Structure 1
Amino acid sequence: MIVLDTSIFVDYLFEKNEKRKEIARKMLGQLEGKEVAVPKVFLIELISIGRRLGFKIKKEDVLEFYSELTFVGEEEIIEILFDVAETVHPRAIDAYFIATAKLTNSILITNDRIMAENAKKYGIEAYYLIEEFDKAIERISKL
């Protein structure tokens, strides 16, 4: 299974930098037939970032993801969240993705260098897509 950070979707949907947008597009294209998990807070984060960037994204827009992603609730990862916070003390939102990867025994793919570093410190197989695109694609092909 794969956990995708919100940053991948943000780059795909909202990014003005064509290189980042293309990397995200290629990654999402590799996921057909693969199970992808995200914490439920992903939906809130995507709306918040989109709005902050000036897009009129709303709840109905992000709910379309429900059919394509496996959502993990906070109640399922709360103990792992505490452990992640105590062990690597990441940004709170990052802890949700790291904990989801731990619970689901997934690899984590992100366009956030700090999240990737913290996930690796916690023992999660993580890829910073901007610099590790080929490695991430190779790994996904083996799932």
Structure 2
Amino acid sequence: MNVFLLIAGGLSACAALLHLACIYFGAPRYRMLGAGEQMARLAEQGSHQPALITSVIFVVLAIWSAYAFSAAGLLIKLPLLRLALILITFIYLARGIAGFFFISSPIGRSPEFWLWSSLICLVFGLVHLIGIKQTWATL
């Protein structure tokens, strides 16, 4: 079992659960996690839009978690494992890097949101990258 891919799966699973918490706890959790005031207000107004958007993110992160766990050997081998892991890693790293460009112009979010979420995405991407590199021959 690859430790880095186990950690990667756990990180994505935690991120997925945090998104689920936003749906459950509503506007205060959207605000706490930096989703933006517009999302929080929509949640307060009873709009289904924040829950729908957040549900999609939850599902994506849960799938990404399953792929990392699969590559680590914890789950059965999922289809297109190599390709999926490459794409997941690329998306995490690209999001991490891109977020730094929004710090000075935060577009409805705080500069702190962009800083911390970018650092988190970079860490997630690097953990995936190390795990993939270590297990590439067996994927």
Q: Do they fold alike, i.e. is TM over 0.5?
A: no
Q: Provide TM-score, normalisation by structure 2.
A: 0.25
Calculate the TM-score normalised by the size of structure 1.
Answer: 0.25
Pick the structure with more strand per residue.
1
Which structure has greater helix proportion? 2
Q: Rg: which structure is higher? A: 2
